C-alpha cells in the first residue's frame, strides 16, 4: 500500500536551551560526585521523560525542602526559588546546588536592584508558575505586584505610581507581553523596564521559528509537557501565526492521527525542556504512516553555553 506524501517542516531552533542543558548536567554531575540519592526541589525542568530518566539514575524529586534529609545534597530547579529556600538550606548546613537558569537569575538580580533603589516591582508572569514564585520570592511580601493580562494592569494598586519598575517571566509569549508592557507604560508613564528584554533568547527564537513555519502548515505539533510554559506559548503562537490546528504532545503516542487525516504539511517544534529523542520519535511515527519529506525552517543559530556551578567542578 502506497503511503500518502507528507512534508514535515522542522523548526530550528527547537528543544533544549542552554539553561535546560545546564540544569540536567548539574543533576547528572551531582550524582557522579556524591552518589545517589540526590534530592531535587521541584522538577529540574518541566519534562516527564527527562525527570523519569534522572529518577532512574538516583534523583529524588520533592516539592519542599522539608522533604529532604540534612545529610544529602539538594538541587534547586532551573526555574529558580524564593530567597528563603537557600537560606533555609544553609541554616540546616545542607549541601545545595542552584540550577536556576542564569537568565532567570538575571531577572532576580534586576528585581533586587530596583528594590534597593526604593522601587516597587511589577512582575508580568503566570500565577503559580515556579519561575514566578521564585522571582516574587526574591523580595518581601507586597513588594512585587503580579499581572498576567492587560486587564490586570488596571486593577493593581501600587503604593506610589511614580516609583515602579517591571520584570517578566522568561518564558512568555513575546507578542502578548508587548501588549501588557504597553498597558503598564500607558497607566504608569514613569515605570522603569529592563535594559534588555527579560524574555530569554531561547523562548524568543523558538517563537520566531514557529511564526515562520506556521503559515506553511496544515497542522503543527509542539513536543513538550503540559506544565511547560514555553511549550504552551508555542502552541498559541502557532495558532496566531496561521496554523489553526496547533497541538501540544508529550511524545508520539499522544498524536491524534484521526485529526490529521487528509493533511499534506505538518510543522514540528519542541519546547525548551523537550529532548531531541522525543522529536525523533514523532518524526519516525509520521514516517510509518506517510512518505515523508523533511524541510527545515531555520530562523536562528544558538551557540549559548552556561557553566555549571563551581561546587560541581571542584573535587569531592
What one-character-per-residue DSSP string does the chain give? -PPPEEEEEEEES-S--HHHHHHHHHHHHHHHHH-S-EEEES-SSS-HHHHHHHHHHTEEEESSGGGS-TTS-EEE-TT---THHHHHHHHTT--EEE---HHHHHHHHHHHHHHHTTPEEEEES-TT-HHHHHHHTTS-TTSEEEE-SHHHHTT---S-TTSEEEEE-TTS-HHHHHHHHHHHHHH-TT-B--SS-SS-HHHHHHHHHHHHHGGG-SEEEEE--TT-HHHHHHHHHHHHTT-SEEEEESSGGG--GGGGTT--EEEEEE-TT--HHHHHHHHHHHHHHSEEEEEEEE--------PPPHHHHS--
Please list the pLDDT of the chain residue by residue as tens digits (316 residues): 799 999 999 999 999 999 999 999 999 999 999 999 999 999 999 999 999 999 999 999 999 999 999 999 999 999 999 999 999 999 999 999 999 999 999 999 999 999 999 999 999 999 999 999 999 999 999 999 999 999 999 999 999 999 999 999 999 999 999 999 999 999 999 999 997 778 999 999 999 999 999 999 999 999 999 999 999 999 999 999 999 999 999 999 999 999 999 999 999 999 999 999 999 999 999 999 999 999 999 999 999 999 999 999 877 6
End-to-end C-alpha distance for the chain, whole angstroms: 60
pLDDT at 316: 63
- Of 43, 110, 131, 208, the active-site residue reads 131
Which residue is listed with cell 563551581? 310
131 belongs to the catalytic site: yes
pLDDT at 52: 97
Amino acid at each position: 500500500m502506497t503511503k500518502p506524501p507528507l512534508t514535515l517542516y522542522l523548526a530550528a531552533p527547537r528543544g533544549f536551551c542552554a539553561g535546560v542543558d545546564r540544569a540536567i548536567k548539574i543533576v547528572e554531575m551531582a550524582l557522579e560526585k556524591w552518589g545517589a540519592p540526590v534530592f531535587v526541589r521541584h522538577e529540574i525542568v518541566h519534562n516527564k521523560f527527562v525527570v523519569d530518566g534522572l529518577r532512574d539514575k538516583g534523583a529524588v524529586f520533592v516539592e519542599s525542602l522539608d522533604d529532604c534529609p540534612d545529610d544529602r545534597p539538594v538541587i534547586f530547579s532551573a526555574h529558580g526559588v524564593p530567597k528563603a529556600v537557600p537560606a533555609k538550606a544553609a541554616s540546616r548546613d545542607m549541601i545545595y546546588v542552584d540550577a536556576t537558569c542564569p537568565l532567570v537569575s538575571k531577572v532576580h538580580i534586576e528585581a533586587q536592584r530596583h528594590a534597593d533603589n526604593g522601587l516597587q516591582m511589577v512582575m508580568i508572569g503566570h500565577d503559580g508558575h515556579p519561575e514566578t514564585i521564585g522571582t516574587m520570592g526574591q523580595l518581601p511580601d507586597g513588594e512585587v505586584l503580579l499581572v498576567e493580562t492587560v486587564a490586570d494592569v488596571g486593577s493593581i494598586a501600587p503604593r506610589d505610581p511614580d516609583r515602579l519598575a517591571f520584570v517578566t517571566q522568561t518564558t512568555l509569549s513575546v507578542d502578548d507581553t508587548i501588549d501588557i508592557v504597553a498597558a503598564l507604560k500607558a497607566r504608569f508613564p514613569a515605570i522603569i523596564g529592563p535594559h534588555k528584554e527579560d524574555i530569554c533568547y531561547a523562548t524568543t527564537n523558538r517563537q520566531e521559528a514557529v511564526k515562520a513555519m506556521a503559515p506553511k502548515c496544515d497542522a503543527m505539533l509542539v513536543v513538550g509537557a503540559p506544565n511547560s510554559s514555553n511549550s504552551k506559548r508555542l502552541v498559541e503562537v502557532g495558532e496566531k501565526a496561521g496554523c489553526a490546528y496547533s497541538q501540544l504532545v508529550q511524545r508520539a503516542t499522544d498524536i491524534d492521527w484521526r485529526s490529521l487525516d487528509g493533511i499534506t504539511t505538518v510543522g514540528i517544534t519542541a519546547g525548551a525542556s523537550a529532548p531531541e529523542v522525543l522529536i525523533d520519535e514523532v518524526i519516525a511515527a509520521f514516517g510509518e504512516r506517510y512518505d515523508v519529506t523533511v524541510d527545515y525552517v531555520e530562523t536562528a543559530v544558538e551557540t549559548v553555553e552556561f557553566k555549571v556551578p563551581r561546587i560541581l567542578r571542584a573535587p569531592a
